Amino acid sequence: MPKQARARYEDTKRTRDTGLKVAAVFGGWWRELTCLALLAAAWGYLASVVGDVLSSVVLGVVLAAALGWAPARQAILGEAWKARQRRRWARSMVRTGLANPPARASREHRSVTGPRATKVRRVPVGEELIVKAPPGHSMEPVVKKLGRVTADLKAREVRVMPDSSGNARKARVLVVRTDPFATEESLPWPWLDKDRVSSEEPIPLGITELGEPFSVRIIDRHTLIGGNTGAGKSVGFRLFAAGFALDPDRELWTFDGKAVGFGPWEACARHTVGMSQVDAAIKMKELVRIVDERYALLKSEGTDMLTPEMIAAGHKRIGVLIDELNFFLEERDEKTSKNAVREFTSRWTDVLERGRAAGITVACASQIPYAEIVPSRARNLFWYAIAFASRSPQASDTILGQGMAAQGFNAQTIRTPGVAWVATERDIERVRFFHLTGDQAKQIASRATGHRLDADLATLTEAST
């Protein structure tokens, strides 16, 4: 190449590279740059009509007015904040290797290979982004590198949730910066002074991270609670017990593998089982018998659910509470234990499976419901899975489901007693549970027992006259 041509070529290349570098730096800033360009154009136009000075004055007044008027200022600052969050996400994708850096030798001024933040919203715990993967990609690589992304965003936690649109290329990413549950705090149960509740009323369990009330519709839905010792299982379980006890249309059956937890409920419970695997198997058999009877009744009446008439005729709903579930599911060396556990397990699974139509609701609490102990057939029959603080992501997953911890739903990160992930088939929330103390439970239990005795007495008097 002749010397002159070469110099010309180098020159053009240098100019183009500089242009690309500028574009690479400013690519994420196009909104701000467009605004500046528009302002400059407006100034130029005005200047040509009314002169430089007046043009500057007019634009200055307009700008001052826009910044002085709160709604406009908030809108402008809000947009600037959103743009900053998008840039931060894009930078984080490049740094964690999830996106290529802008190619210097191409005309691309920003990476098109990585997941992009399309929408940004401020939420009480931090930021919520709608992130879109490039065509032909999913959000899986982000989930795999979530730890690094979290560190790069300097966040406390990052959670990846499916987008409500059902588009697998998109995800809702929650960047958690503050923990509203960091301090230990006792929230009183809103139903403390209730005299009675109906089976249909959802039981209030606690408040969500957004400060909203959270309750569970337990009618014909089963619950599995897991977590470390001291994480808040038994306190959370009391809410179920109290909810069942306050419902005059419901019988209470309690099983406790530690034999201390259900003290206050014993008087109002129809049946109580303590630390005996054999007794537990026998009582489960009785429940299976009730299920069989009720199925026969439903069939003869031509319905598929317990009706109010049947309940009034004495076929009450049943709330089954099993604390320390592992005790009843773990075979010990003796033959009696082996037989009892096998019988208990199959009957318990049967009650979980068929209890729904027969008006039987089961709530179980267990330290870590390991896969070897809780059969997967039974596990899939729980509508609510509640994970209090757990020792490892694997332990958390045994309660909430495989792969949940990797997506940021990890009970290992919970440090406060009484805080748990509550998952259903549809969604998952972090909840601070209400704290129903032992004494309060005693009061509710004695009130509920009184009502039950009154009702029994009334039936007896009615029968004898």
Judged by the rule CB under 6 A, the positions of this chain that interact with ligand ADP are 186, 227, 229-235, 388, 417-418, 433, 435
Q: How far apart are CB 266 and ligand ADP at their closest, in Å?
A: 18
Q: Considering beta carbons, is residue 28 or 418 the nearer one to ligand ADP?
A: 418
Could you say which of Mg ion, ligand ADP, none residue 231 binds, taking C-beta under 5 to 8 angstroms by partner kind?
ligand ADP
Could you say which of Mg ion, ligand ADP, none residue 418 binds, taking C-beta under 5 to 8 angstroms by partner kind?
ligand ADP
Contact region for Mg ion (CB under 5 A) — 202-210, 228-236, 312-320, 446-454? Answer: 228-236
Please name the residues in contact with 43: beta carbons below 8 A apart, sequence gap of 6 or more: 55, 56, 59
Q: How far apart are CB 385 and Mg ion at their closest, in Å?
A: 17
Q: What is each CA distance from 460 to 249, 394, 453, 455, in whole angstroms?
A: 17, 53, 10, 9
* CA diameter of the chain: 122
Q: How far apart are CB 184 and ligand ADP at their closest, in Å?
A: 6
Q: How far apart are CA 371 and CA 373, in angstroms?
A: 5
Q: How far apart are CB 432 and ligand ADP at their closest, in Å?
A: 7
Give the position of tokens 């470390």: 228
Dihedral (Cα; 276, 282, 286, 292), 10-degree rounding: 130
Could you say which of Mg ion, ligand ADP, none residue 265 binds, taking C-beta under 5 to 8 angstroms by partner kind?
none
Contact region for Mg ion (CB under 5 A) — 88-96, 215-223, 229-237, 392-400? Answer: 229-237
Q: How far apart are CB 374 and ligand ADP at their closest, in Å?
A: 17
Q: Considering beta carbons, is residue 141 or 263 the nearer one to ligand ADP?
A: 263
Q: Considering beta carbons, is residue 387 or 448 the nearer one to ligand ADP?
A: 387
Q: Considering beta carbons, is residue 229 or 464 the nearer one to ligand ADP?
A: 229
What type of residue is 18?
A: T
Q: How far apart are CB 445 and ligand ADP at their closest, in Å?
A: 17
Burial class, 275, CB count within 10 angstroms (exposed 0-12 / middle 13-18 / buried 19+)? middle
Q: How far apart are CB 260 and Mg ion at their closest, in Å?
A: 9
Q: Considering beta carbons, is residue 199 or 228 the nearer one to ligand ADP?
A: 228
Q: Considering beta carbons, is residue 207 or 281 the nearer one to ligand ADP?
A: 207
Q: Which of residues 230-249 bind Mg ion (CB under 5 A)?
A: 233-234
Q: Considering beta carbons, is residue 227 or 369 the nearer one to ligand ADP?
A: 227
List the one residue out of 288, 291, 258 whose CA is nearest residue 276: 258
List the one residue out of 319, 323, 320 whose CA is nearest residue 258: 323
Give the position of tokens 């609670």: 225
Chain residue at closest Cβ approach to ligand ADP: 418
- DSSP result, 283-348: HHHHHHHHHHHHHHHHHHHT-SS--HHHHHTT--EEEEEEESHHHHH---SSHHHHHHHHHHHHHH
Could you say which of Mg ion, ligand ADP, none residue 230 binds, taking C-beta under 5 to 8 angstroms by partner kind?
ligand ADP
With contacts defined by CB under 5 A, how many residues of the chain interact with Mg ion? Answer: 2
Could you say which of ligand ADP, Mg ion, none residue 319 binds, taking C-beta under 5 to 8 angstroms by partner kind?
none
Q: Considering beta carbons, is residue 199 or 367 the nearer one to Mg ion?
A: 367
Q: How far apart are CB 252 and ligand ADP at their closest, in Å?
A: 19
Q: Are 434 and 190 in contact (CB under 8 A)?
A: yes
Q: How far apart are CB 178 and ligand ADP at their closest, in Å?
A: 19
Q: How far apart are CB 364 and ligand ADP at their closest, in Å?
A: 13
Q: Considering beta carbons, is residue 55 or 234 the nearer one to Mg ion?
A: 234
Burial class, 427, CB count within 10 angstroms (exposed 0-12 / middle 13-18 / buried 19+)? exposed
Both tokens of 109, joined, read 């001024």
Partners of 255 in beta bridges = 273, 322
Contact region for Mg ion (CB under 5 A) — 33-41, 170-178, 225-233, 443-451? Answer: 225-233
Strands 223-226 and 360-366: parallel
**Apex 294 CA angle, 289 and 295, nearest 5:** 100
Q: How far apart are CA 107 and CA 168, in angstroms?
A: 29
- DSSP result, 247-294: -TTEEEEEEESSSSTTGGGTTT-SEEE-S-HHHHHHHHHHHHHHHHHH
Q: Considering beta carbons, is residue 126 or 264 the nearer one to Mg ion?
A: 264
What residues line the site for Mg ion (CB under 5 A)? Answer: 233-234
